[in-house]
Structure 1
Amino acid sequence: MRDDILCWRVEEACRRAWPAHEESERGDWRLRFNHGLSRRANSANPIRVTGGDIGGVIDWVEMECAARGQRSIFRVPGLIDSDIDRQLAARGYAIEAESNTLYAELFPMPMRRDPDVVILDRPNDAWTKAMGSLQQWNAARLAHYRATIERITMPAGFMALSIGGRIAAMAYGAIHDDIVCLESVVTDSARRRQGHGQRLLGALLAWAIGMGARIACLQVEANNAPALALYRQMGFIRDLYPYRYRVKG
């Protein structure tokens, strides 16, 4: 049985862990803009079980997006009335991606340190540039990413695992309301399937437990089989809810 209270708490933790540059609300929806860095921070997102005038919300989102020269995108989690999905489809919104929200319970344990994992409470220039290199981002995308993570106001840990003086894996976690949300998990493409992702995430979750987190969550594309396999190995065996994007064609 789905725990909707938990699901909406996780939604809020994920929003705060990936902050947008601009947000506004109308009814049960929050519209987010972040200079096109990702769908999640450049879309309309429900903030509770929705109702009311969805047609008016769609009109509002289209007007605001058009004013900024951006596509109209709705993020539609499985927590809300499926009729909204049908209304968007009827107005020409196509499905662009489907993702899962994964969940794991964390249990108190002694804080353990991995000697090869560096943990920062704020991202410095070297950490951000290394993330951009592993992700193979251009300068503009890296600048948008830097601005996004610098807006994080909740307790956060920015991790990097180095092997032989070279960064092998990176990620960060941000904690809200005893929930740690994992973000930007990446392993060097030349060093995958060597256990580096497991080591990094093990250190991240141990840090989160030491910071008082009791729940871990993350959001991942449904067709990303390697990432899903890694997260299952790390204890993310429960799917809380799916979500999809509806994009105006």
Structure 2
Amino acid sequence: MAEGQTCTFFGEFARRATGSADDIELSNQASSEWRATWAAIHRASEATARIFGAMTELIALPKAFASCRLDGRIVAIAYGVIHKRFLVVEAVATDPGYRQQGHAARTIAKLIDWAQKQRAVAGCLQVVSDNEPARALYRSLGFNRELYRYHHLRKDIAK
């Protein structure tokens, strides 16, 4: 059974200007609050959150973790990794109570600003195919060329 169709989008940074937001914090490591926000938004189990945290700590390339803070708490997150002047944006998430308010857009724009300062010229990210609000957000940030799609296959096993 096919499930979870995902699109990978590409965007060149030279074709667009990015904005900078004072409410977005950047760090080269994911703070415990950043990781807790990721886990809460994704409703991740303790084991899944621990594995995700360990994986992000092992990234050896230049990386930045972005947090959008509102009223003292993190409401949107993302991180980016640069390889050969190419930014890969990952883990974009916004607290459900704060969606459609521009927090994710400012968070990703701050990552793009950081990446451009590191001499990155383009980037990519992935999104679930039927998440139209996220796709519209990414298009607005210049990620408008679809590179490919994929999906996962799951075999139903009779019990």
TM-score by length of 1: 0.58
Structure 2: gaps (5+ residues): none
Structure 1: gaps (5+ residues): 1-93
Q: Which has the larger radius of gyration?
A: 1
Higher relative contact order (CA 8 A, sep 6+): 2
What is the aligned counterpart of 2:140 among 218, 226, 233?
Answer: 233
What is the letter of the counterpart of residue 177 of structure 1?
K
1:100 maps onto 2:16 in alignment: no
Within 2, Cα distance between the matches of 1:181 and 1:248?
Answer: 30
Equivalent in the alignment of 2:81: 174
Within 1, Cα distance between the matches of 2:35 and 2:144?
Answer: 30
Q: Deviations over 1:141-171 (max 9, x none)?
A: 2111111111111100000010121212100
Within 2, Cα distance between the matches of 1:189 and 1:112?
Answer: 24
Q: Deviations over 1:121-147 (max 9, x none)?
A: 112323212222232222122111111
**1:180 positional shift:** 0.5
Q: Deviations over 1:87-138 (max 9, x none)?
A: xxxxxxx322321110000129999642211100112323212222232222
Counterpart secondary structure, 2:154: strand
Q: How does 1:45-194 map onto structure 2 within 5 Å?
A: 94-107=1-14, 113-194=20-101
Equivalent in the alignment of 1:205: 112
Within 2, Cα distance between the matches of 1:239 and 1:245?
Answer: 18
RMSD: 2.0
Within 2, Cα distance between the matches of 1:138 and 1:106?
Answer: 36
Asked if the contact 2:64–2:81 (Cα under 8 Å) also holds between the matched residues in 1, the reply is yes
**1:247 positional shift:** 3.3
Equivalent in the alignment of 2:122: 215
Judged with a 3 Å threshold, the aligned counterparts in structure 2 of structure 1 residues 245 and 137 are, in CA distance, closer, same or farther, namely closer
Structure number with higher strand proportion? 2
Counterpart secondary structure, 1:212: coil
Equivalenced residues, count? 156
